[in-house]
Amino acid sequence: MGKRINILILLVMAVVGVYSQSMQNLVDTANTAYKNGNYPKAIQYYDSVVEQGYVSAELYYNLGNAYFKDRQLAHAILYYEKALNHDPGNEDIQHNLDMARQMTVDKIEKVPEMFYVKWWRSIYNLFSADWWAYLSVGFFILTLVLTGLFILSRRIVIRKFSFYTGVVTLLITVFSFVLAAQKHHDRTHDKAGIVFEPSVTVKGSPDEDSVDLFVIHEGTKVFITDKLGQWYEIKIANGSVGWLEKDSIKEI
């Protein structure tokens, strides 16, 4: 029985190793094509990696760059947004996303935010949900260690240090956990998308014959607030709300 389990483990490890090597070969081929200026080929190979379920900020970033170089602006913005979701603090991704946005037709002014909202958002976007969760676990373990020191130590200095430091690490644990939970909720519930049509008319209701509200263009980011059949209710950065057909956008 033990030999069979060992053989099974070796087989699984071999399959994983072959799969990983195959993925790496595709990425290397895509990187080479990109360096040689063959952007359609780079897109083809990066896309094949994405289609096989591989996810990383670097992969999305490279794919966004390839689409940008190939002048496919909506695709570039889509993958820069995906990359930023996985690595919110990456300045290179943000810079390239901003450059791509500047090339879109729509110049939509954001609704002004209060200073404390900006402050909170800057902290919120420092890390992804996974990294906030890692921080929460790390500081929780540190809190347990400090609690042990407080209980076991007989020296007043160590007990004071472990107590006050433990309070701080506990607060950081809770804070990190709240941010991780909020990030996870936003990622799974708050949907956004990128317009892929040259231009699309946003309607007052989910009906082709309803009143026209405004027009948005390729590359514009929209926030999906509701769904009804083949229609999405969307909100744009300036707060305007309306309905458009789901086929006109791709979700981030």
**pLDDT: which is higher, 26 or 98:** 98
Residue-wise pLDDT tens digits, 209-223: 899 999 999 999 999
Question: What pLDDT, on a 0 to 100 scale, did the predictor assign at position 128?
Answer: 80
Per the domain annotation, does 90 fall within a domain? yes
Indicate the range of 12-21, 206-215, 235-244 predicted with least confidence. Answer: 12-21
Per the domain annotation, does 234 fall within a domain? yes
Task: Dump the DSSP string for the chain.
Answer: -HHHHHHHHHHHHHHHHHHHHHHHHHHHHHHHHHHTT-HHHHHHHHHHHHHTT---HHHHHHHHHHHHHTT-HHHHHHHHHHHHHH-TT-HHHHHHHHHHHHTSS--PPPPP--HHHHHHHHHHTTS-HHHHHHHHHHHHHHHHHHHHHHHH---HHHHHHHHHHHHHHHHHHHHHHHHHHHHHHHHHH-EEEEE-SSEEEEESSSSTTSPEEEEEETT-EEEEEEEETTEEEEE-TTS-EEEEEGGGEEE-
Per the domain annotation, does 171 fall within a domain? yes
Per the domain annotation, does 44 fall within a domain? yes
Question: What pLDDT, on a 0 to 100 scale, did the predictor assign at position 143?
Answer: 95
β partners of residue 193: 222, 251
Question: What pLDDT, on a 0 to 100 scale, did the predictor assign at position 21?
Answer: 59
With beta carbons less than 8 A apart as the criterion, state whether 106 and 217 touch. Answer: yes
Residue-wise pLDDT tens digits, 110-140: 777 677 777 887 888 888 888 899 999 999 9
Question: What pLDDT, on a 0 to 100 scale, did the predictor assign at position 4?
Answer: 52
Residue-wise pLDDT tens digits, 19-77: 455 778 888 899 999 999 999 999 999 999 998 888 899 999 999 999 999 999 999 99
Residues 209 and 238 in one domain: yes
Question: What pLDDT, on a 0 to 100 scale, did the predictor assign at position 20?
Answer: 58
Average pLDDT over the chain, rounded to an integer:
87
Query: Is the pTM higher than 0.75?
Result: no
CA-to-CA distance for 252 and 247, rounded, in angstroms?
14
Q: How large is the greatest C-alpha to C-alpha distance in the chain, in angstroms?
A: 79
Residues 20 and 94 in one domain: yes
Question: What pLDDT, on a 0 to 100 scale, did the predictor assign at position 10?
Answer: 42
What is the pLDDT confidence band of residue 3, given thresholds at 50, 70 and 90? low
Residues 36 and 79 in one domain: yes
Question: What pLDDT, on a 0 to 100 scale, did the predictor assign at position 30?
Answer: 92
Domain count, the chain: 3
CA atoms within 13 A on the CB side of 235: 10
Whichever domain contains 230, its CATH number is 2.30.30.40
CA-to-CA distance for 175 and 136, rounded, in angstroms?
8
- Answer with the one of 102, 127, 143 that is the final residue of a domain: 102
Question: What pLDDT, on a 0 to 100 scale, did the predictor assign at position 99?
Answer: 94
Q: Which domain holds residue 46?
A: 2-102
Q: Which of 39, 38, 40, 60 is nearest to 49 (CA)?
A: 60
What is the pLDDT confidence band of residue 109, given thresholds at 50, 70 and 90? confident
Residues 125 and 138 in one domain: yes
The region, left, alpha or beta by phi > 0 then psi within -120 to 50, assigned to residue 37 is left
Residues 177 and 196 in one domain: no
